[in-house]
Structure 1
Amino acid sequence: MAVGRNGRFSGLLVVAGLLAGSWTGFGQEKKSEKVVVAGTPAAAPVPAAPADSVTDGSVTVGGQVIAYRAVAGTLTVGATATQDATIGFDGKTLPDAQVNSPDKDKPEDAPATARIFYTAYFKKDAAAEHRPVTFLYNGGPGSATMWLHMGSFGPKRVAIPDAEHQEGAPYAIVSNESSLLDVTDLVFIDAPGTGFSRIYGKDKEKAFWGTDQDAHAFERFIRRFLSKYDRWNSPKYLFGESYGTPRSAVLSADLQNVDLNGIILLSQILSFDNSVDGPKWNPGVDQAYALALPTYAATAFYHHKLPTQPAALEPFLAEVEQWALGEYMTALLQGSELPEAKRQEIATKLHGYTGLPVAYLLRANLRVAGGVFSKQLQTDEDTTTGRLDSRFKGPDLDPLSGDAEYDPQSQAISSAYTAAINDYMRKQLKYGEQQTYLPGAYSDPSFSWDLRHQAPGGPSATEQEGGTNVMPDLADTMKANPRMKVMLAGGYYDLATPYFEGKFEMHHLQIPQKLQSNISYHYYEAGHMVYVNEAVLKQFHADVAAFIKSTESGK
């Protein structure tokens, strides 16, 4: 999640510097340059890794009692492939490694390493070698994976009311009847610098906080995990949410000689030019407005803000999708050459699909960014509409502002997830004593994200023009492994990564037409985190389980 101006976590997707290369984040104040104070003490030596914790438990899924073993622990990876080959799982230099040891008195000069925290759940009495294993992670970039861990498919989940801000603690941590342990072992991974994961060494932030650097770290983690637990011959899956979806694209291409059985992409964005959070800083690239329009329509439908309420949501959205990429996109591409009569006609049609006043739409030049829509849809009630899940709403912080100042959905659920992960880790998994669980890396004054990216066979990251786009990476993986399947999932009420954006990206992958049949689409009446809605979670489980069962044998 991203941290908002008021210091609370406000989003699972933080895309920074979409065009100019500076990291700002959605709803986040731009970071100032780090100030180095004279006399700053040298970096402390890398502490010994805490011992892994192994516990046992059980969960009932579909009437089946599943006994499992949970491992909460860490694996250490290097910042480069050469360095990574010289260190053990615990981060210590291997005895036969031919490397120059750093000066013991200058630990800050040691090569950068990341101690990556994970929680793995293994079904007992299963043929482990051939049992599927799924690697799950949230996004940010800079978010821990407590959201997926405590909300989706782990054996425990935090139960919170759907589309409401409940009272404070105690929160209910319950057995998860929708756990995915019925079909796959699970590995929840906290990104470097989040959760219980930590980074060390020289230029550690540059080594791990960036599009390519992050994917390389996850690649090395997965290889080490497969080696430690003898899972090289297991069916393998990636499951990323939000920024975890571009991570999955890059990671899949990085995993050379590791054929994945499948990739599950939840709340996708692969090309940041498609983000509706910042298109005003990207003038002339108008497709983000069109791709967000169906989500605007779904949101207005939900809150009964349309001038005429349609009978059903999905047929209505199909109509909006067609108009968005047709007449609306054509009008936007004309810019100032759009005739005035046509401009009035488009504004009237937009009013019918969004509920926003025609006069406002004309002043906005027919272009409404995500934060603007969140603020304007219910402004007559001094109410801000949710961003991650537009079914949520809350009081305006500033009735006179043009954009939303916070995300009511984030405010409604963040405390519950933070409390749940800390309580669960310490009491049930017996891990984390005297450690701080970081929901995100955003509080670190050194945190910034390098969005530069080198696509497979493409120009170097320093020569790349335009916004970050990892569609070539996913396309490269699909062509190299034409039996691999991709499942795309999303919520109709997601304003952070609108569902139609993901669909658009998939239909523009640089792959042969026949490989399009390897992609399946699943959409739900929920937001960015579809699992917040318990009924949707059950259906989501059924869909993901069916996807894994149909692909684990390479069908």
Structure 2
Amino acid sequence: MHKRSLVAALASLLLVSTTYAADKQEAKDKPAEAKPDAALLQPQSSETTGSVRVEGKSIDYKAVAGTLVLHGSGDKEHEPQVSMFYTAYFKKGADAAKRPVTFIYNGGPGSATVWLHMGAFGPKRVVTSDDSHTPAAPYNLVNNDYSLLDASDLVFIDAPGAGFSRLIAAEEDRGKREEQMKDRRKTIYSVDGDGHAFAQFITQFLSKYGRWNSPKYLFGESYGTTRSAVLANILENESSVDLNGVILLSQILNFDTSIDGPQFNPGVDLPYVVALPTFAAAAYYHHKLPQQPAALEPFLREVEQYALGDYAQALMAGSRLDATRKQAAAEKLHQYTGLPVAYLMKADLRVTGGMFEHELQGDGDLTTGRLDSRFSGPSLDPLSKDSEYDPQSSAISSAYVAAFNDYVRRQLKFGEGQQYRLFAEVDHWDFAHKAPGVSGEALQQSTNVMPDLAMAMKTNPNLKVSLHGGYYDLATPYFAADYEMHHLPIQPALQKNISYDWYPSGHMVYAHEDSLKKLHDNVARFIGETDNVKR
């Protein structure tokens, strides 16, 4: 059961499944691994300069696009395993000892960080339509008025195998090389292997650029928040790196909260409970509610209370729920989601994310976006039970991919003759995770890294956590993230170290420009309040 639910969760977190599938097919069409490229065995870099105006203030910067080479541990400590690509932006004239540095990455798992780079905090931003399909090229690349360079130096990191990052097999013999690559994939394409790779990258970066005494931050989105919890614990308790802050965008720490695939995990009704407010937000946005509320946020507070109360109790009753109470629950859900009472009864009050996306807008001709439910697109199959694609992903992905491929070569002067992979060629991601304090083998359960973040916060009680999410995000519902944070196994006093900010946007909060400005302002303020720099 857990294997099936984890597979569903993995599929749900891949931001652009169609592009990922194309990349995998291309990989299958390639011949077996060629002789290792000598360039992967040595760090590479390209330095350029630029200037960005952030909310009216001009900032000159140095940009470095390059790679660091990660090695194994133990008897493999001299064995190169990963060439990891990054783009770093350093404010010119700043005191490195006082200047914060923020390590930024997307999720996937196995995703390149093109989204946060070109949509949120890099000096250039690609313009996309707010809630509809962005027209084809040429795309508009503009000065990013909301780059985070005003508050921190920035390091955008591509996961192993994604972007220009590559796994390395240094063996000369073809057979040994293939075995080595198989071993690399098994080790690194996993919750714990990925976390250790990022930890090694960060400590190498701190040494290379002399940033050990700088205020340090992690910024992860989607699966990147899962990574951040694991990574924060590794840095704090294995590498002796105290972090000033961890910034989480569109969080998922406990995969048992996911509304993607809960039907494969019967008996765990929590996903339906914590997704209900996002269903309500989507119905509100598309005017599908029987009675349209005057404002979104007061309406959501009401739905949250119902979800944790009467709705949760109805689901927990299971087959003991009598017909009268079930009918009453279906009628209430209709008021909050717009879905027909008969449909809700037939679904046994349990509607998955895919079902909701397919059914919200009428008779199935329109599919509602998953990453951002403000988006809509024609249904691939009006008779399907679930949505079969994500209209938001289809609407903006091409703009991000084209803009970055052009920008990295023209302006950053890196990547000539190389393929930029949107996703790593992951055949299997190992979601087994050995939580802090567990002896022996990793527990056989859905991935849950809440203990990792809790351990980091307890061993560094000054660590601050900043949580951000979009009301219209059906991939990682905001109320699921809120639920996770309020159930962290930490002392009550440490709950004060967590702050919360929600936005009228989706999974990629920054795809909505007003929300991007608020995200920038909130994150910049968080860094300013936690960097420990005396001014």
**Corresponding position: 1:375 with 2:358:** yes
In structure 1, the gaps of 5 or more residues are: 1-15, 87-110
1:545 aligns with 524
1:47 aligns with 38
1:506 aligns with 485
Task: Give the distance between the partners of 2:491 and 2:32, measured in 1 at CA.
Answer: 56
Instruction: Give runs of aligned pairs for residues 11-410 of structure 1, distance below 5 A.
Output: 17=3, 19=5, 25-26=11-12, 44-49=35-40, 51-80=44-73, 83-84=76-77, 86=78, 111=79, 113-201=81-169, 202=180, 203-255=183-235, 256=237, 257-380=240-363, 382-410=365-393
Q: Percent identity?
A: 59
Instruction: Give runs of aligned pairs for residues 458-537 of structure 1, distance below 5 A.
Output: 458-460=438-440, 462-537=441-516
Task: Give the distance between the partners of 2:333 and 2:533, measured in 1 at CA.
Answer: 45
Give the residue type in structure 2 aligned to 1:162: D
TM-score if structure 2 supplies the norm length? 0.91
CA contact (8 A) 1:456 1:476 kept: yes
Task: Give the distance between the partners of 2:362 and 2:80, measured in 1 at CA.
Answer: 49
In structure 2, the gaps of 5 or more residues are: 170-179
How big is the shift at 1:166? Answer: 2.1
Residue range with higher mean Cα deviation, 146-155 or 372-381: 372-381
How big is the shift at 1:42? Answer: 6.6
1:11 aligns with none
Question: What do residues 176-215 of structure 1 show as CA deviations (whole Å, max 9, x unaligned)?
Answer: 0101101100000000000000002211111210100000
Question: What do residues 515-543 of structure 1 show as CA deviations (whole Å, max 9, x unaligned)?
Answer: 00100000000000000011111111100
Give the residue type in structure 2 aligned to 1:180: L
Task: Give the distance between the partners of 1:42 and 1:533, measured in 2 at CA.
Answer: 41
Give the residue type in structure 2 aligned to 1:363: K
Task: Give the distance between the partners of 2:284 and 2:395, measured in 1 at CA.
Answer: 22
Task: Give the distance between the partners of 1:182 and 1:22, measured in 2 at CA.
Answer: 39
CA contact (8 A) 1:79 1:208 kept: no
How big is the shift at 1:162? Answer: 0.5
Task: Give the distance between the partners of 1:404 and 1:351, measured in 2 at CA.
Answer: 20
Taking a change above 3 Å as real, the CA distance of residues 81 and 495 of structure 1, as seen in their structure-2 partners, is farther
Give the residue type in structure 1 aligned to 2:403: A
Task: Provide the alpha-carbon RMSD of the alignment.
Answer: 2.2
Task: Give the distance between the partners of 1:507 and 1:485, measured in 2 at CA.
Answer: 15
Taking a change above 3 Å as real, the CA distance of residues 81 and 421 of structure 1, as seen in their structure-2 partners, is farther
Task: Give the distance between the partners of 1:82 and 1:175, measured in 2 at CA.
Answer: 48
SS of alignment partner, residue 207 of structure 2: helix
Question: What do residues 436-495 of structure 1 show as CA deviations (whole Å, max 9, x unaligned)?
Answer: 000112xx3x521000100111144x4413211000000000000011100000000000
How big is the shift at 1:381? Answer: 6.2
Give the residue type in structure 2 aligned to 1:194: A
Taking a change above 3 Å as real, the CA distance of residues 456 and 381 of structure 1, as seen in their structure-2 partners, is closer
Question: What do residues 394-452 of structure 1 show as CA deviations (whole Å, max 9, x unaligned)?
Answer: 001101101001000000000000001101000000000000000112xx3x5210001
Task: Give the distance between the partners of 2:222 and 2:323, measured in 1 at CA.
Answer: 39
CA contact (8 A) 1:68 1:122 kept: yes
Taking a change above 3 Å as real, the CA distance of residues 351 and 81 of structure 1, as seen in their structure-2 partners, is farther
1:433 aligns with 416
Task: Give the distance between the partners of 1:463 and 1:149, measured in 2 at CA.
Answer: 34
How big is the shift at 1:287? Answer: 0.5
Give the residue type in structure 1 aligned to 2:136: G
Task: Give the distance between the partners of 2:503 and 2:486, measured in 1 at CA.
Answer: 20
Residue range with higher mean Cα deviation, 68-77 or 450-459: 450-459
Task: Give the distance between the partners of 2:521 and 2:6, measured in 1 at CA.
Answer: 42
1:8 aligns with none
CA contact (8 A) 2:69 2:80 kept: no
CA contact (8 A) 1:79 1:114 kept: no
Taking a change above 3 Å as real, the CA distance of residues 160 and 47 of structure 1, as seen in their structure-2 partners, is same
Task: Give the distance between the partners of 2:54 and 2:7, measured in 1 at CA.
Answer: 46
Give the residue type in structure 1 aligned to 2:122: G
How big is the shift at 1:268? Answer: 0.2
Give the residue type in structure 1 aligned to 2:105: Y
SS of alignment partner, residue 73 of structure 1: strand
TM-score if structure 1 supplies the norm length? 0.88
Taking a change above 3 Å as real, the CA distance of residues 180 and 41 of structure 1, as seen in their structure-2 partners, is closer
SS of alignment partner, residue 114 of structure 1: strand
Q: How many pairs align?
A: 507
Give the residue type in structure 1 aligned to 2:66: G
Question: What do residues 89-148 of structure 1 show as CA deviations (whole Å, max 9, x unaligned)?
Answer: xxxxxxxxxxxxxxxxxxxxxx56011000000000000122100000000111100000
2:173 aligns with none
Task: Give the distance between the partners of 2:471 and 2:10, measured in 1 at CA.
Answer: 26
Task: Give the distance between the partners of 1:264 and 1:81, measured in 2 at CA.
Answer: 32
Greater percentage in helix? 2
How big is the shift at 1:167? Answer: 1.3
Task: Give the distance between the partners of 1:367 and 1:238, measured in 2 at CA.
Answer: 36
Taking a change above 3 Å as real, the CA distance of residues 292 and 430 of structure 1, as seen in their structure-2 partners, is same
